[in-house]
Amino acid sequence: MTPARLRLAASSMGKPGTQVGELCTELGITRPTLYRHVSPTGELRPDGEKLLTR
């Protein structure tokens, strides 16, 4: 996960109709990685916040 991917994931997860599987494929990440960094509503989780503050 990179900061750019994280920002895209967070903005996409906050939109209705986002297909999680397609988003993961597009970003080149797994579902567990996505959900470790971003909540289903698009809010950053602790790992996501750490990534952006490095």
Q: pLDDT tens-digit profile of 5-52?
A: 999 999 999 899 999 999 999 999 999 999 999 999 999 999 999 999
Q: What is the pTM of this model?
A: 0.88
Contact (CB, 8 A) for 35 and 42: no
Tokens, residue 36: 């470790």
CB neighbour class for 46 (10 Å; exposed up to 12, middle 13-18, buried from 19)? exposed
Domain of 17 in residue numbering reads as 3-53
What total of structural domains would you count in the chain? Answer: 1
Contact (CB, 8 A) for 41 and 27: no
d(CA 54, CA 42): 20
